[in-house]
Structure formats: structure tokens, C-alpha cells
């Protein structure tokens, strides 16, 4: 049994992950701006505050905190919030862990497949590929650099570059379930995805099997916006129309943020599979049927 702190523990992934870890008899502590339950402790990035009681005797930190990439238009101020919520929060944890001399067994951080940039190519991106030169690439690079500083204290660091997380309650899938299912833009962009339970299982594997390094947390089956939309329409018995939502319309509505809807490449899952992870939901059909 390990003591595990989760930041972003009240979010989509954090809630499910917390439950699964508790079911496995781990001691889970949530850092929250507004603690409500007995296992939740206050932290406040703006005032550089963490309740030190939460940190004592901690074995692992799972860092999921971060403002939603697709929640609001990317104004200059919003971009700062997106970066700071990931980077400053990791820096705060690093400072407190150093100050209290806590010997962590591991620091496990979320990241995104946006690391490779919002681009559509036939290339299959692997963990050794360079970061993209756009906003998302910059966000993920800074996010990961903040995590890597823990290795200067000889703390093993694990980073999971995550695709679209599919869940039966909230998240991207809910927004896709429109009365008529259509692709976006050209429909040729790829949508790297993963079932919530597979993602949580990879986090648990990182803790219980000392998985260290950078891994793409995506399912092995590749889908474009077109093939994803067709599979979704079939699974929820909704009509599918192959005429995509026009790119110009999405750019008008979302501004620069439309990039994440209109661009996307294939991401390799081979490294995590070679490290012994076997996907429960390796195909989109299986994932959607489950959800």
C-alpha cells in the first residue's frame, strides 16, 4: 500500500483513478482549492500554499492538475492560465517536496499528445520525436520540463502523453454525441484516443511496477475524424452525414483553438505495450460498446 497524492483529483480522470487506487487499498490524498472530504487538503497555486500535512509520508504524486485546453477561446490571458496551471503547480510541489525533504518514490505527470504539435501527417509519432513548434507543443514541453526537475532529486519521473479520453460521463465524447454525427473539417485528421479505464490502469501500472520514462497513453488503433464519427454513429444509433463541419466555421467559433479540432496525427502506443501493458479496449468499437 502506498500513499499517493493526486492533483486534479476531482476531474474526469482524477475521480476514476482515485476510486481504482482506493479499491486497491492505496491511501489517496487529493489536493484541492476547495477541500470538501476528509482525504482532501487545500492548496493554492496563486499564493504558493500547500497544506503540509498532506505531503507528509507521501510515496507518489500523480500530477493531473491543469486548466482545460478546450474550455475557452485561447486569448493571451487564457494561454497563460493553461500554462501556469500546469507548470506553476508542479514547481510548487517540487519546492515543497524539497523543503520538507520528502523522499518520493515517483512523480507521475500527465501531458498531452499535443506535445507533437497540432499537425496532420501520415507520420506515426513516437516518444523520441521532437516537440511541435505551436502553442500546444510549447504547453506540453513546459509541462514536461516542470515534471523532469524531480529527477534532479533522484526521484523517478513518469510522463503520460494522453490522447482524447473516452468516458461514459462528460468529456469529449459527450460533446460528440450530436443528433447527427459528422466529421470536422476535412475529416482526414487523426484523433488519438484512449478509454478512461485503460488510462487509469497505466497510471496504476506506473506506481505498482515502477514504470519510468515518457509514454504515449493512446489506444493502438488509429482513427480519422471520418472513421471515428462513423463508428460513433453506429454505436449510438444516430445518423451519420459525411459532409464535415466546415473549417472556416470552426475557426470563427473557436479562433486559434480550432486547430485541435482540425489537425491531428497518428500516435504510437508501441512503447507502453512493449513495457507490458495490454489494452482492455484496443479498438474503438470495443471502447464505445463498453461506454
Number of C-beta neighbours around residue 188 at 10 A: 14
Q: Which of 284, 222, 265, 228 is CA-nearest to residue 113?
A: 265
State the pTM of this model: 0.94
Number of C-beta neighbours around residue 77 at 10 A: 9
Is the per-residue pLDDT at 172 higher than 90?
no
Distance (Å, whole) CA 281 – CA 12: 18
Range of the domain at 8: 3-168+192-220+266-280
Residue 204 or residue 36, greater confidence? 204
Is the per-residue pLDDT at 104 higher than 90?
yes
pLDDT confidence bin for 203, thresholds 50/70/90 = very high
Q: Give 291: exposed, middle or buried? Use CB within 10 Å, 0-12, 13-18, 19+.
A: middle
Number of domains in the chain: 1
Share of the chain above pLDDT 70, in %: 100
Does residue 61 lie within any of the structural domains? yes
Residue 36 or residue 20, greater confidence? 20
The pLDDT score that the predictor gives to residue 251 is 87
Does residue 47 lie within any of the structural domains? yes
> Residue 40: which CATH number?
3.40.50.720
The pLDDT score that the predictor gives to residue 77 is 95
Does residue 35 lie within any of the structural domains? yes
Residue 179 or residue 282, greater confidence? 282
Residue 72's alpha-carbon distances to 29, 81, 253, in angstroms, are: 29, 11, 11
The sign one gets for the Cα dihedral 126, 89, 107, 42 is negative
Is the per-residue pLDDT at 252 higher than 90?
no
Q: What share of the chain is helix, strand, coil (3-state, %, to 5)?
A: 40, 20, 40
What DSSP designation does 252 have? H
The pLDDT score that the predictor gives to residue 174 is 83
Does residue 177 lie within any of the structural domains? no
Is the per-residue pLDDT at 259 higher than 90?
no
Average predicted confidence (pLDDT) for the chain: 93
Does residue 138 lie within any of the structural domains? yes
Segment 203-217 shows an average pLDDT of 96
Does residue 155 lie within any of the structural domains? yes
Does residue 64 lie within any of the structural domains? yes
Does residue 250 lie within any of the structural domains? no
Residue 78 or residue 243, greater confidence? 78
Amino acid at each position: 500500500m502506498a500513499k499517493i497524492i493526486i492533483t486534479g483529483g476531482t476531474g474526469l480522470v482524477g475521480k476514476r483513478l482515485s476510486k481504482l487506487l482506493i479499491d486497491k487499498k492505496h491511501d489517496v490524498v487529493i489536493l484541492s482549492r476547495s477541500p470538501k472530504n476528509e482525504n482532501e487538503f487545500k492548496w493554492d497555486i496563486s499564493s504558493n500554499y500547500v497544506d503540509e500535512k498532506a505531503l507528509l509520508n507521501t510515496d507518489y504524486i500523480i500530477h493531473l492538475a491543469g486548466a482545460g485546453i478546450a474550455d475557452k477561446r485561447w486569448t493571451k490571458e487564457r494561454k497563460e492560465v493553461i500554462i501556469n496551471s500546469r507548470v506553476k503547480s508542479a514547481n510548487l510541489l517540487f519546492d515543497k517536496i524539497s523543503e520538507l525533504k520528502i523522499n518520493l518514490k515517483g512523480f507521475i505527470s500527465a501531458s498531452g499528445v499535443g506535445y507533437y504539435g497540432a499537425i496532420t501527417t501520415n507520420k506515426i509519432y513516437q516518444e523520441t520525436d521532437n516537440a511541435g513548434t505551436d502553442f500546444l507543443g510549447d504547453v506540453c514541453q513546459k509541462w514536461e520540463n516542470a515534471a523532469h526537475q524531480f529527477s534532479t532529486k533522484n526521484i523517478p519521473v513518469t510522463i503520460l502523453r494522453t490522447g482524447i479520453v473516452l468516458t461514459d460521463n462528460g468529456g469529449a465524447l459527450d460533446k460528440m454525441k450530436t443528433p447527427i454525427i459528422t466529421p470536422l473539417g476535412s475529416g482526414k485528421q487523426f484523433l488519438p484516443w484512449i478509454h478512461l479505464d485503460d488510462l487509469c490502469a497505466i497510471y496504476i501500472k506506473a506506481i505498482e511496477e515502477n514504470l519510468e520514462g515518457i509514454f504515449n497513453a493512446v489506444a493502438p488503433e488509429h482513427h480519422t475524424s471520418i472513421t471515428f464519427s462513423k463508428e460513433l454513429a453506429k454505436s449510438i444509433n444516430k445518423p451519420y452525414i459525411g459532409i464535415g463541419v466546415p473549417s472556416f466555421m470552426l475557426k470563427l467559433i473557436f479562433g486559434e483553438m480550432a486547430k485541435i479540432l482540425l489537425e491531428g496525427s497518428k500516435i504510437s502506443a508501441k512503447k507502453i505495450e512493449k513495457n507490458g501493458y495490454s489494452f482492455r479496449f484496443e479498438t474503438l468499437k470495443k471502447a464505445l460498446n463498453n461506454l
